[in-house]
Amino acid sequence: MTTRTDWQRARRPEEKEQRREIILSAAAKLLDQEGLDGTGLNAIARQAGLSKPNIYRYFESREAILIQLLLDDMDSWISSLNRKLQRLEGTDDVDSVAKTFAATISKKPRLCILIGALASVLEHNVSEDTITEFKQKLLSPYNSIVASVSNAIPALTVEHTNSFVTLFVLTASGAWPHCNPAPAVKNVLRRKEFAVFRLDFKETMFEHAITSLRGFLVSDA
Residue 45 near residue 83, CB atoms below 8 Å: no
Statement: residue 8 has pLDDT above 70 = no
Whole-number Å distance between alpha carbons of 49 and 220 = 55
Of the pLDDT bands very low, low, confident and very high (cuts 50, 70, 90), residue 2 is very low
Statement: residue 90 has pLDDT above 50 = yes
Tens digit of each residue's pLDDT (9 = 90 or more) over 17-48: 899 999 999 999 999 999 999 999 999 999 99
CA 82 to chain centre: 15
Of the pLDDT bands very low, low, confident and very high (cuts 50, 70, 90), residue 164 is very high
Q: What is the mean pLDDT of residues 56-60?
A: 93
Residue 36 near residue 84, CB atoms below 8 Å: no
- pLDDT over 70, % of the chain: 95
Statement: residue 5 has pLDDT above 90 = no
Could you give the C-alpha distances from 49 to 13, 19, 53, in angstroms and in order?
Answer: 20, 10, 12
Q: How many residues in the chain?
A: 221
Q: Nearest Cα to 103, choosing from 90, 84, 76?
A: 84
Tens digit of each residue's pLDDT (9 = 90 or more) over 66-88: 999 999 999 999 999 999 999 99
User: Which one-letter DSSP state was computed for residue 118?
Assistant: I
Looking at 3.40.720.10, 1.10.40.50, 1.10.357.10, 2.60.40.10, the CATH number of the domain 62-220 comes to: 1.10.357.10
Q: Nearest Cα to 115, choosing from 177, 185, 179, 60?
A: 177
Tens digit of each residue's pLDDT (9 = 90 or more) over 96-133: 999 999 999 999 999 999 999 999 999 999 999 999 99
pLDDT of residue 16: 84
Could you give the C-alpha distances from 102 to 109, 126, 200, in angstroms and in order?
Answer: 12, 31, 11
Statement: residue 13 has pLDDT above 90 = no
Whole-number Å distance between alpha carbons of 107 and 77 = 8
pLDDT of residue 14: 82
User: What value, to the nearest 5°, has the Cα angle with vertex 175 and ends 212 and 74?
Assistant: 80
pTM of the predicted structure, to 2 decimals: 0.90
CATH number of 1-59: 1.10.10.60
Domain definitions of the chain by residue range: 1-59, 62-220
